[in-house]
Structure 1
C-alpha cells in the first residue's frame, strides 16, 4: 500500500449490511513487498468462522480464499495457522504489517496486509457475530457446503472407504 491509503474502502455494518474491505495489498517476493494486488475481504454472518478474500491481480483472473477469521485476526499480532494458511506480524516499510502465506498444490504466495485496516475491519465483524457466538450462528450444512464448494463426486456416488489390508 502506498502512504496515501488510496484504494482502501471499508463498509460499516448498518441495518443488515455486512462490512466489506477493499484494499491494495502487495505480494511479497524474495522477502521484498512488490506487485500490488487488489484484495476484497468479505464476511458472511451465516458462516462467521470464515472470511472470504478475493485476490485480483491488475491483469488476470482473481482467486478467492476462505480463511479462518480467528487465524487471520491472530496473525495480525502473532504467528497463527499452519499448513496451507499462515499469518504473522512483521515490521514493514510503512509501519505495522502482517504477512499472509497461502499455499496450494500448484503455487504459493505471501501477501503484505496493513494491520490497522484489516484489524479494524475484523473487529467490525466481531461486533456482528462475537467469537463466542460463532458456533451458535453457524449453519453447519451451508458452512460445510461452502468449504467443499458444493462439488459432487464425478460419478455422483458417495465415496466408499477402502480397506487398508
Structure 2
C-alpha cells in the first residue's frame, strides 16, 4: 500500500491500459511530496515500482518511465464524479464498482487507464495526514516570498 516518509508518501499500484481488444497491466506509482502540496505525480513504467523516496522522482536525468503531474483536488473529486478537461480527465465507473477511469492526452497520443478507486482513496488519506485538505497554501509561504520581492530581494542584476 502507501509508503510514507516525513515529507511525502508513495502508493505503488497497477493501472490497466484499456486497449481496443485487451487490457495491459502498467506498473504505476502515485507520489506525493509536501513541498509541492497541491500536486500528485503519477509515474508509469519500470521505475514506478522501484523502492525510492518521493523526492527522488524529481531527478531530471531519470529515464525509467513517464511522469504526469495531477492536482490532488482533481483526484479527490474524481472519486465521486467526472472531473477534468483537456489533457486529463477522471471519472468513476457506474454501478458502484471500485474502478476509476483516467484519460491522459498528449501531442503524441492518448491513453485510457482503469485503476482502483480504493487505492486512490487510501493514498489521498495518507497525503491528508501530511497536509490536510485546504492547508496546502499554508506551506507555500506566499506572503514571505512577496515581501522579499517587494523589499528588493531579487536576483535581478539590473537593480530594477
CA RMSD, Structure 1 to Structure 2 (Å): 2.5
For structure 2, the 5+ residue unaligned runs are 48-62, 143-160
- Corresponding residue of 1:10: 2
- Determine if contact 1:87/1:98 at 8 Å carries over to the other structure: yes
SS at match of 1:38: strand
- How many positions carry a matched residue from both structures? 127
Aligned to 1:53: 42
Alignment of 1:40-79 (within 5 A): 40-56=29-45, 62-79=65-82
Provide the residue aligned with 1:39 in structure 2: 28
User: TM-score, normalised to structure 2's length?
Assistant: 0.71
Residue of structure 2 equivalent to 1:111: 113
Change (3 A) 1:131 1:17: closer
**Which SS does the other structure have where 1:47 is aligned?**
coil
Equivalent residue number for residue 156 of structure 2: none
Aligned to 1:23: 13
Deviation of 1:18 (Å): 2.2
Consecutive unaligned residues of structure 1, counting only runs of 5 or more, are: 1-8, 141-165
Gap change, CA 1:50 and 1:70, over 3 Å in 2? same
Deviations 1:67-122 (Å, cap 9, x if unpaired)?
A: 00110121122111111011000048x93110011111111111111011111111
What is the TM-score when the length of structure 1 is the normalising length? 0.69
Q: 1:116 to 1:106 in 2, by over 3 A?
A: same
How far the C-alpha of 1:17 sits from its partner, in A, is 5.2
Higher RCO by CA contacts (8 Å cutoff, separation 6 or greater) = 2
